[in-house]
Amino acid sequence: MRREVFVLMAVAAMTTILSESLPSAQAARIKDIASVEGARENSLIGYGLVIGLNGTGDKTGTTFTVQSLSSMLNKLGIVVDPKAVKIKNVAAVVVTAKLPPFVKSGSTVDVVVSSLGDATSLQGGTLLLTPLKGPDSKVYAVAQGPISIGGFTGGKDGDTVQKNHPTVGRIASGAMVEKQVGQSVVYGEAVTLLLRQQDFTTAVRVSTAINANFGQGSAEPIDSGTVRVRIPEAQKSHVVEFLASVEGLEVVTDVPAKVVVNERTGTIVMGDHVRLSEVAVSHGNLTIRVKTDFNVSQPAPFSEKGNTVVVPEQKTTVTEEDAKIMVLKGGANIGDVVTALNAIGVTPRDLIAILQAIKVAGALQAELEIL
């Protein structure tokens, strides 16, 4: 008996320890739901040429590719008549990249290369030196290197095979940063957190979590998407460590009641806070099938007259399922909704129509967004 009691006490103690050590299933780190103002990426863009293509480049009528190739050769000291240039192995492309925050000169970033003309594939091509500019028209990086398209294309004369998208490629670490962007996350004596999903409740909870760990008055919610965090006096010389501690705090996020449907794919996503007022749903399908059989009538062998005739025979059937009525009680949550609608055998596309009708009836206590 004593042994059984000891085992039960040990199991209870272990369960308590595990439950305290594991984070809440609904909790999220601040770094996963918010970013620090000032620590942002910057977009870069450039125009360049890809060479070395095996006859899959731009066609002769692509004027800007001809002009670009001719201009490049002239800068290299080779005078060429644009009318004599053949560009089937060359493609004009737009090069894009993201400049990470706090990146330094000499660092490398990935670039995406996209065909601008009518090239059929960038497979095997090499991007020539391409300056990448920011919105201020200043050059921040230069890109060059062999392109990987992650697929292939082959064949000709309409008999072709293709995998993935051959006119867009990527160069890993293909751009060298030449100029860094001056960025700062500290303004005065505070930093600002920007919530990725704006919500007043979540903003208050983030502020409360920071105040609980660093003292009352350390954080203040400004609006539904902004929380201002004051840097403690003892942490002013260790801002990076302070921000790391703030990012590691866990907060239970709150989201509005929302139903998102995509009629093209039949996808339905419902949040946990979706509720229904009491409503009755009737579901019944009407199916009409038309089947045509082609009967062949032909004359007997060696007959002097008669022609082979195809006689179509059509059969039309109409099937209507018995309508099923389901009453959803007021306050039903997402589990009740799914269980009830599955019980009457609705498909995802039927469910979209039912949700729209429930929303029109005023019984769906959630926002309905149709993609």
Specify if 137 maps to a domain.
yes
Same domain for 234 and 204 = yes
Specify if 35 maps to a domain.
no
Q: Is the pTM of this model over 0.75?
A: no
Same domain for 365 and 286 = yes
Pairing of strands 226-230, 250-252: unpaired
* 288-314 average pLDDT score: 62
- Choosing from 177, 210, 240, the residue where a domain stops is 177
Q: Residue 188 in contact with residue 236, Cβ under 8 Å?
A: no
* 70-80 average pLDDT score: 88
- Tokens 């309905």 -> residue: 368
Range of the domain at 57: 42-152+162-177
Q: Does position 11 have pLDDT exceeding 70, yes or no?
A: no
* 57-68 average pLDDT score: 88
Specify if 210 maps to a domain.
yes
For 34-54, the pLDDT digits (tens) are 999 888 889 999 999 999 998
| pLDDT grade for 6, boundaries at 50, 70 and 90 | very low
Q: Which residue has the higher pLDDT, 29 or 284?
A: 29
Same domain for 210 and 147 = no
In angstroms, the CA 145 to CA 95 distance is 12
Q: Which residue has the higher pLDDT, 113 or 301?
A: 113
* 341-363 average pLDDT score: 78
Residues in the chain: 371
CATH of the domain at 196: 3.30.70
Question: How many domains are there within the chain?
Answer: 3
Same domain for 166 and 56 = yes
Q: Which of 186, 171, 163, 182 is nearest to 125 (CA)?
A: 171
Phi, psi dihedrals of residue 143, rounded to the nearest 5°: -120, 145
Same domain for 167 and 58 = yes
* Residue 171 CA neighbour count, 13 Å, CB half: 28
Same domain for 211 and 124 = no
In angstroms, the CA 280 to CA 349 distance is 19
At 265 the pLDDT is 80
CA distances for 357 relative to 87, 210, 230, angstroms: 57, 44, 49
Specify if 31 maps to a domain.
no
Same domain for 349 and 329 = yes
At 159 the pLDDT is 63
Same domain for 55 and 124 = yes
Specify if 30 maps to a domain.
no
Q: Which of 227, 272, 262 is nearest to 246 (CA)?
A: 227
Specify if 24 maps to a domain.
no
For 161-195, the pLDDT digits (tens) are 667 788 999 999 999 999 988 777 777 788 999 99
